[in-house]
Chain A
Amino acid sequence: MPFPRFLLPFLVLATGCAQGSSGALGQTDTTAACPPSELVCAVAGIDAPIAKGASLPIQVSVTTEGAATPPLTFVSANPAVFTIDADRLHAQEAGLASMLITMPGVGAQDAEGDPKPQASNSDLVVDFLHVWVAEADALRLHRVTTGGLQTSPLPAAMEMLVGDELTLVAAPHRGPQRLLGELDAAFEADPQVVTMLDEGVAGSRRIVATAPGETTVAVKALDIEVAVTLKVLEVKP
C-alpha cells in the first residue's frame, strides 16, 4: 500500500524535534539535502552508509540554546574515505571517518577579510558525526511518485500506455540496506518507444512512452547494470 501523503506532517510530529542524525556532541542535526516536500528524507538523517563513488549533499542545523546556526564548514577527518566540497560529501573508499562541523574561530579570515575555504586549527568544532562509506553490490530502480516518494524496487517488467510517464531513479544497495548518495548513472532505451528526459536530478530520468512497442531501459552506475523491460501499449478508443 503506498504511503499516504497526507500523513507526512504527522510523521514529522511523531518524530518530535529529532530530525536527522544527531552529532556526537548533540549540538547539530544532519540530513541529506532534500526538497522541503520530501519530509521523509528530511527526518531520516544519514541513516545508511554512503555508496562508494556516490556523492551526498547534506544540510546541518545547529541546535544549541539561544543561537541561530552560525556560518559552518564541513571537514573530513580522513579524505581517503570521503572528501567534502562545500555541502557535498564524495564517498571515495569503503570505511569510516568523522565529519567535523566547524565554524570560523579567531583568525579564520584571509587578508581580504573573507572566510578561509579550509578549516584551520583556530576554527571551532561545533559537533562531529561518524560517517560510513560502503561499496554497493546492487543497483535497483525505484519509481518516483508525484509526491516525491520512491516505492520499493521495480519489477523486471512493466506496462505503460502511450503518453504515460514514469520517473525512475537508480539507487545503490548493499545487502539489505539501501545506500545513500546520488549517482552519475547512464540510461539507455529504444528512442522509438520511449523518450527519456534528464531533468537535472542525478541518477534519474523521466520516461515518456511515445509509441507502442517494447524496450529495455538499461541503467549503468558504479560499474553495475540494472534493467527494466517496458511494454508500451496503444490506447484504444
Chain B
Amino acid sequence: MSPRAALLLVVAAALAAGCEPSLTALTVAPPTAVAELDAVDKDVRLSQGIALAIECTYQGSPCENANATSSDPDIVRVMPGYVDLFTPGDAYHSTASDEPRAVFILVGGKPGDAIVTLTSTDANTSIDVKVLSPP
C-alpha cells in the first residue's frame, strides 16, 4: 500500500470514528444483577429481566431524532425513555431550550445475543447486547 493510500485510510477511519454517537449508561444494576455498558466497544451485558437506561449524545448534545430497534426483541427489548431535562444526574446541564434527551431503555429478555441498532439524524451505531441468565 502506498503512503498516500495509507494516509487516506487513516483520515477515513478518523472521520468515521468522529461520526459515532456517544453512549452513556444512566442507571446501574441492582445487587447480584448485571447491567453494564462498555461505551468504547459499544456492547452491553444485561441480566434477564433487568432494565438499563442508555443515553445517546453527539458532540455533547442529545442525538437528534434518535430511534433504536432490536434484532431480536425476545432477547432484548428497546423502548424510548422520557427523561426530564432537569433530572438530577444530567451530566451536561441542559437548559430548557435544548433538544430533548435521547434515552433508550434496554430490557433483558431470554438469554442470548442480539444487536440494537441506533439511528439518528446525527449518526448511527450498533450495540452488541448479551443477555445473561437471571441472577
Contacts and interface: CB of A to CB of B under 8 A. Distances in A.
Interface of A: 24-27, 64-65, 67, 77-78, 80-81, 95-98, 100, 102-103, 105, 119, 121-126, 128, 130
B81 A124 contact: yes
A81 B50 CA distance: 11
Q: Which 6 A-B pairs have the closest CB atoms?
A: A78-B49, A97-B49, A130-B30, A98-B51, A64-B84, A24-B27
A147 B80 CA distance: 43
A34 B28 CA distance: 29
B87 interface: yes
B30 A96 contact: yes
Given A25-B83, A96-B33, A77 B50 contact: yes
A111 to B, nearest CB: 22
Given A64-B86, A96-B134, A98-B107, 7 more contacts: A24-B51, A25-B87, A26-B87, A27-B87, A81-B49, A100-B107, A119-B79
Contacts, number: 90
A71 B132 CA distance: 32
Contacts of B135: 95-96
Contacts of B134: 78, 81, 95-97
A100 B28 CA distance: 15
28 contacts: A24-B26, A24-B51, A24-B53, A25-B26, A26-B87, A26-B89, A27-B83, A27-B87, A64-B87, A65-B86, A77-B50, A77-B107, A78-B134, A95-B49, A96-B33, A97-B49, A98-B51, A102-B79, A121-B73, A121-B78, A121-B79, A122-B80, A124-B79, A124-B81, A125-B105, A126-B81, A128-B105, A130-B50
Contacts of A105: 80
B62 interface: no
Contact of A96 (B49, B82, B89): B49
Q: Is the interface of A mostly helix, strand, loop or mixed?
A: loop
A125 B79 contact: yes
A217 to B, nearest CB: 38
A186 B105 CA distance: 42
A65 B86 CA distance: 7
Given A126-B82, A128-B105, A130-B30, A25 B53 contact: yes
A156 to B, nearest CB: 36
Interface string B4-44: 00000000000000000000001110101100000000000
Contacts of A121: 73, 77-79
Contacts of B89: 26
Given A95-B134, A100-B107, A125-B82, A26 B88 contact: yes
A65 B82 CA distance: 12
B50 A98 contact: yes
Interface string B97-122: 00000000101100000000000000
B57 interface: no
Contacts of A81: 49, 134
